Amino acid sequence: MDGTFTEVLIDDRLPVVKAKAGFKSAFSQSRGGKEMWVMLLEKAWAKVNGSYENTITGLPADALRALTGAPVDFYAHDYTTDEDLWKVVIEGHRSNHIICGSSATD
C-alpha cells in the first residue's frame, strides 16, 4: 500500500449465501455474481484490508488502483450531469476500460 508491489495470495473459495436457485455470492453484485474475476479481486482487496467489512465504505476505484496499478478516473454523480456522466461511460466502454460503480445503500 506504500507504493511497493506486494504479492497477495488468495484461495478460490468464495463466500456465498442461500438463494432461491441454490447459492449466490455474498458480496459481489457483478452480473448477478457470475463474473469470478470480480469476486477474486474483491477477495484480494478484503485480504489487503483485513476483512470484507473493512472495505464496505471503500470505492471500487481504490481497489483497482491499488491492486493493478492501473490509472483510475473517479466521477461523483453529484457533481456532474447525467448526460456528461453517460458520455464518460460510453467513451470508457468504447476504449475497453474497466468500468465500475458504487452507490449508497439507500
**Is the pTM here over 0.85, yes or no?**
no
| Number of independent structural domains in the chain | 1
- 77: domain range? 16-94
| Cα dihedral sign, 67-48-54-13 | positive
* Residue 36, number of CB atoms within 10 A of its CB: 13
Is residue 100 in a domain?
no
* Interval 62-104: pLDDT, tens: 888 887 777 788 777 778 888 998 998 899 889 888 887 776 6
* Helices (H), ranges, 56-97: 60-68, 82-94
* Residue 95, number of CB atoms within 10 A of its CB: 8
Confidence grade of residue 44 (pLDDT, cut at 50, 70, 90):
confident
Is residue 41 in a domain?
yes
Question: Would you state the pLDDT for residue 9?
Answer: 92
Quote the mean pLDDT of the chain: 79
* Interval 53-64: pLDDT, tens: 888 777 777 888
